[in-house]
Amino acid sequence: QMRFCLFLTIKINHFCCFIQLPVVCQTSNRKLHFSIYRKRGDAKVSDAISTQYPVVDHELDAVVVGAGGAGLRAAFGLSEAGFNTACVTKLFPTRSHTVAAQGGINAALGNMEDDDWRWHFYDTVKGSDWLGDQDAIHYMTEQASAAVVELENFGMPFSRTEEGRIYQRAFGGQSLKFGKGGQAHRCCCVADRTGHSLLHTLYGRSLRYDTSYFVEYFALDLLMEDGECKGVIALCMEDGSIHRFRAKNTVIATGGYGRTYFSCTSAHTSTGDGNAMVTRAGLPCQDLEFVQFHPTGIYGAGCLITEGCRGEGGILINNEGERFMERYAPNAKDLASRDVVSRSMTIEIREGRGVGPDKDHVYLQLHHLPPQQLAARLPGISETAMIFAGVDVTKEPIPVLPTVHYNMGGIPTNYKGQVITHKDGEDTVVPGLYACGEAGCASVHGANRLGANSLLDLVVFGRACALTIAETNTPGEKLSPLKPNAGQASVANLDKIRFANGSTRTSEIRLNMQKTMQSHAAVFRTGDVLKEGCDKMDSIYKSLDDIKTFDRGIVWNTDLVETLELQNLMLNAVQTIVSAEARTESRGAHAREDFKDRVDEYDYSKSLQGAGTKPFEQHWRKHTLSYVDPKTGKVILEYRPVIDSSLSLNAEECAAIPPAIRSY
Amino acid sequence: MTHASSFSIVKTFFSCVIFCCDKGKVHNRLVQGPRNMSLLRVCCTTTRGFVKRGLFLESTYTACHWTAGYASGGVTKDKEPLKKAKTPQGRFDMDETESKSKDVLERFPDGVNPETKEKGGPRGPEPTRYGDWERKGRCIDF
Tell me whether residue A91 is annotated as binding. yes
Neighbour-count burial for A536-570, b at 16+ CB within 10 Å, e otherwise: bbbebbebbeebebeeeebeebebbbbbbbbbbbb
For every residue of A290-301, DSSP letters joined together read -EEEEEEEETTT
CB atoms within 10 A of CB A416: 20
Q: Does the predicted interface ipTM exceed a cut of 0.90?
A: no
Taking residues B97-120, report their average pLDDT.
77
Q: Are A589 and A293 in contact (CB under 8 A)?
A: yes
pLDDT in tens, A210-237: 899 999 999 999 999 999 999 999 999 9
pLDDT of residue B13: 52
Taking residues A540-557, report their average pLDDT.
95
Taking residues A8-25, report their average pLDDT.
50
Give backbone dihedrals phi and psi of A550, rounded to 5 degrees, phi first.
-110, -35
Interface of A with B in 16-35 (CB under 8 A): none
Taking residues A549-556, report their average pLDDT.
94
Which band of pLDDT confidence, cut at 50, 70 and 90, is reported for residue B105? Answer: confident
Contact B138 A338 (CB under 8 A): no
The secondary element (H helix, E strand) that includes residue A158 is none
Q: What is the pTM of this model?
A: 0.82
Contact B138 A304 (CB under 8 A): yes
Q: Are A279 and A571 in contact (CB under 8 A)?
A: yes
Q: Which of B118, B125, B128 sits opposite A167 (nearest CB)?
A: B118
pLDDT in tens, A486-532: 999 999 999 999 999 999 999 999 999 999 999 999 998 999 999 99
CA distances, A308 to each of A75, A239, A347 (Å): 39, 48, 23
Which band of pLDDT confidence, cut at 50, 70 and 90, is reported for residue A9? Answer: low
Q: Please report the domains of chain A, with CATH numbers, ordered by start residue.
A: 299-400 (3.90.700.10), 488-599 (1.20.58.100)
Q: Which residues contact A632 (CB under 8 A, 6 or more apart)?
A: none
User: Catalytic positions of A, please?
Assistant: 338
Task: Kindly report the average pLDDT of chain B as a whole number.
Answer: 65
Residue B5 sits at the chain A interface (C-beta within 8 Å): no
pLDDT of residue A24: 43
Taking residues A591-618, report their average pLDDT.
84
Which tops the pLDDT comparison, B115 or A70? A70
CB atoms within 10 A of CB A534: 19
Residue B126 sits at the chain A interface (C-beta within 8 Å): yes
pLDDT in tens, A144-175: 999 999 999 999 999 999 999 999 999 978 99
State how far the Cα of B69 lies from the Cα of A305, in Å rounded to an integer. Answer: 65
Min distance B84 CA to chain A CA atoms (Å):
26
DSSP state of B83: P
State how far the Cα of B32 lies from the Cα of A333, in Å rounded to an integer. Answer: 81
Which band of pLDDT confidence, cut at 50, 70 and 90, is reported for residue A651? Answer: low
Task: Kindly report the average pLDDT of chain A as a whole number.
Answer: 90
Residues in B closer than 8 angstroms to A306, CB to CB, are: 130, 132, 134, 137-139
pLDDT of residue A31: 43
Residue B78 sits at the chain A interface (C-beta within 8 Å): no
